[in-house]
Amino acid sequence: MRLLTSMMLAMFCNMNSHAQQLNIIPEPVSMQVHSGTLALGQDISWTTDVKSASLSLAKAQLEADCRKNITGLNTTNISLTLLKKEDSGIGAEGYLLEIDKDGIHISANKENGLFYGLQTVRQLLVTPDVPYLTIRDYPVVGWRGMMLDVSRHFFTKAEVMRYVDEIAAYKFNVLHWHLTDDGGWRIEIKSYPKLTEVGAWCVEKYGYYGEFSAPGKDAKYNYGGFYTQQDIKDIVQYAKAQYVDILPEIDIPGHSMAAVVAYPELSGTKDAVNYKVYSGEKGFMDWTDHGIVARYDNTLNPAKPEVYKFLDKVFGEVAGLFPFGYIHVGGDECAKNYWQKDPNVTALMQKEKLKNYEEVQAYFEKKVEAIVASKGKKLIGWDEILEGGVAPNATIMSWRGEKGGIEAARLKHQVVMTPNNYVYIDYVQGNKYMESKVYENLRLKKVYAFNPVPAGVDPAYVLGGQANLWTEQIFDFSKVEYMTWPRGLAVAESLWSPASKKDWPRFVEKVEQHMKLLDRDTVNYAPCMYEPDVTLQSGVCTFIPEIDGLEMHYSVDNSFPDIKSLLYKGPFVLPEDAVMLRVVSFKKGRPVGRIISIPVAELKKG
């Protein structure tokens, strides 16, 4: 009996050990690990009844991963099967994964389910052998998005495709593409060529976007770029091969300076003929307690018929380029001070019996919805379009916290949850002395707490959620990756995995393993979870780590700390004349993260 018990215990420990090695993100709904392992080889033998070529890219990616990780001479057998009898429990995107002595078997109701099964397998094939297992998996929400702003800074066609690769690997299925804003119009519209001839270009500047000096009279407006319609077709087709839909955003009626510069007649302001595309200079907008005040009119005028003629042609071309069923029309942060002094807007208000300027924007949005609907698409916009009366069939993207989404769902509108306090990944993600200056902080642990279906909301109205990456302070694609990962991993798990499967300490372990995969694939990421926040109050210094298990060593003598330096054991009094505090973290005797250097004068400012 004792021998049998010992054997069972040993078997359990072996199974548990293998389970600990299965660092799958997002966490599957159900996973059982069995005794035994499958020896892998560099070569793959495919068996499938899928006749289309839709999975060819995923298969090629997996084969490349094998060549990177596996040295064995065996052949790995992988079968892909579409279920003849639908498994209603896993839905359209779910999959079943079985690994046994005969190989790896993935089955699903639809081809995209097979694709997601392959993404899980890609994460498993990082060792020469994997345990026998059974996974049953499907997402908790259907809309799993990532937004990329290409207006403030332009990213190339190849970089956008790479971003698609990266998010698809973690089972995201929507790329929200922010294509227009004050800083640039990035999509070719053949009916209005000046949108890209003029509107796609600003002045190249570096520092803090929004605080740049004003461009001089001789400044060159040659920084930027745009996507031709062929570029867009290529990107859309590439994304479709990875089951990623692309949501185009044309941000109106505010955030429209690039369009106004190209076609001043879209504005109600005579001086618009002298405007230039916004280059990030200081003083463009005033943010007050009473709302947004524009110093330059960056809005499309809601009282001018030519504006709706313009939008009809623009949305006609956009609809023809993007097969996805939605078009995003922005609607956020629309300054209305120029409307307030426009006699044509006043006349419109009297004619349509509009009581305030929020209702003027609502009038505009309803006309825009009719245009979008005429192109066979559904309108989606930021939660400001709720103000003044929302367009009847609009879908709301809730960004100002969860309030707008909760209200929209109450009004029986479909909602995509993207609250800034959980998923705005342009926010500072670590110690503020190490990061680009942004007005808010959003740590990985807070992102991991995101729930796309807030308490008390009918889930029937929640399409899903997404993270948003605004790029004011992001000048190149490496920084895009740095801001996305690993926070994107937390978003992926929040949108796919059941809340009951989320486990912060276990997630941290998985992230550490995925950092190795990101290193392997030369994907940049932030090590910020290893770097503590540092506060100083009444001369007492406190380190606040984000994760457990760190040893934090520091110096106050201007040296660079190592494992022999002072060990942080709790709050301490900072020496009176210290000028520089430096901190570095260790985990299990190994340095992790970066050395944080903080001028004491800055620390005293808070």
| Residue 602 among the catalytic residues | no
- Please tell me the distance from the alpha carbon of residue 127 to that of residue 113, in angstroms, as a whole number: 24
Which 8-state DSSP code applies to residue 283?
T
- The tokens for 183 are 């800083």
* Cβ contact 113:90 at 8 Å: yes
* Closest C-alpha among 321, 301, 319 to residue 309: 301
What 3 state SS string does 390-458 have? Answer: CCCCCEEEECCCCHHHHHHHHCCCCEEECCHHHHECCCECCCCCCCCCCCCECCHHHHHCCCCCCCCCC
Pairing between β-strand 75-82 and β-strand 43-48 as defined by DSSP bridges: parallel
β-sheet with 566-567: strand ranges across = 566-567, 551-555, 580-587, 590-599
- Do residues 452 and 464 touch, judged by C-beta distance below 8 A? yes
- How many CB atoms are located within 10 Å of the residue 264 CB? 16
Contacts of 472 (CB under 8 A, 6+ apart): 152, 209, 210, 280, 426
Which residues, in sequence order, are bridge partners of residue 567? 553
Tokens standing for 467?
Answer: 């993270």
The pair of three-digit structure tokens given for residue 63, joined into one six-digit string: 């084969």
Tokens representing 176 are 């929200």
Q: Which of 137, 149, 166, 181 is catalytic?
A: 181
- 140 near 493, Cβ under 8 Å? no
Active-site hit among 129, 204, 231, 333: 333
Whether 18 sits among the annotated catalytic residues: the reply is no
Between CA 104 and CA 328 the distance in angstroms is 40
Q: Which of 18, 105, 176, 255 is catalytic?
A: 255
Report which residue type is found at 268.
G
| Beta bridge partners of residue 37, listed in sequence order | 131
User: What number of other Cβ atoms are within 10 A of residue 352's Cβ?
Assistant: 12
Q: What whole-number distance in Å separates Cα of residue 367 and Cα of residue 365?
A: 5
Closest CA relative to residue 422, chosen from 495, 314, 473: 495
288 alpha-carbon distance from chain centroid: 28
Which residues are CB-neighbours of 64 under 8 A, at least 6 positions away?
none
The DSSP call for residue 214 is: P
User: Is the distance from CB of 249 to CB of 179 less than 8 angstroms?
Assistant: yes
User: Catalytic: 197?
Assistant: no
Distance CA(348)–CA(340), nearest Å, equals 12
Q: What angle do CA 434, 440, 441 make, to 5 degrees?
A: 55
Catalytically annotated residues:
181, 255, 333
